[in-house]
Chain A
């Protein structure tokens, strides 16, 4: 009975120690605010969005322990043309006045060293859809870069403005530091 209790205590300690080690492995990456780009591209329109705020807990060895949350400000959409910006923020496009926040929240992250996929919920204009976000992670020691590319169907997010591309390609380049 005594031996069994000791074994249980050792097992519990081992589990506790291992989990503590795992927590140490997951790094809370901070965004380099002046260096990131989030761009979108479609037929006849391309641009960037600013106002990125992130909460990134990412462990490249154990990506399933990772959690990525990012928000952006729809009011910062910049196509390089004033009229197009106005159209992009309009009620039947992003409706930036009513829905200023664009949000991505991962539900799971998987993959092997270098290439990963985050499955998560993307909310645009108050509409939430599940998306797959394939990304790469370049670890440079104290700094790293997340790069990802995915596409969205604009009508899925109730973006119906005439002239809006059916599909927009989103390109992410997010440098981070520890």
Chain B
């Protein structure tokens, strides 16, 4: 796995995750007529997608250089567990008081926590060491 592939993997999966997040945000907010822009907006979704995907790419790069493909499966499981664990923060998150219907917030934010991992895993075969 080269650094170039790692960067491309991070870039494309970030774009994919951000697009999914923005679309889901738009559909969810219009369906329930809610507005969580003060805590979850397009900039935040793009930033979180880039952060998550870059972090996963770095993990892939480091693990691959260290042990080859042997530990990639373990890393995938770790990423899935961390994505799942991160939703705890959503349920405990306190929104500003002026935001109405906070009970609808987890329905918006929880799926988004899986978008970076989902897009990263979807594109992983394309950026495997022996392809491209």
Contacts and interface: CB of A to CB of B under 8 A. Distances in A.
Interface string B92-119: 1111110111111110000000000000
A166 B99 CA distance: 26
Contact of A80 (B91, B99, B104): B99
B106 A39 contact: no
A48 B101 CA distance: 13
A82 B97 contact: no
Nearest to B100: A78
A83 B97 contact: no
A5 interface: no
Q: Which bucket holds chain B's interface residue count?
A: 10 to 19
Contacts, number: 30
B104 A81 contact: no
Nearest to A78: B97
Contacts of B101: 82
B95 A80 contact: yes
B99 A86 contact: no
The secondary-structure label for the interface of chain A is: mixed
Interface residues of A, number: 11
A39 B102 contact: no
Interface of B: 91-97, 99-106
Q: Closest 8 A-B residue pairs measured CB to CB?
A: A82-B103, A80-B94, A80-B95, A82-B102, A48-B97, A81-B94, A80-B97, A80-B102
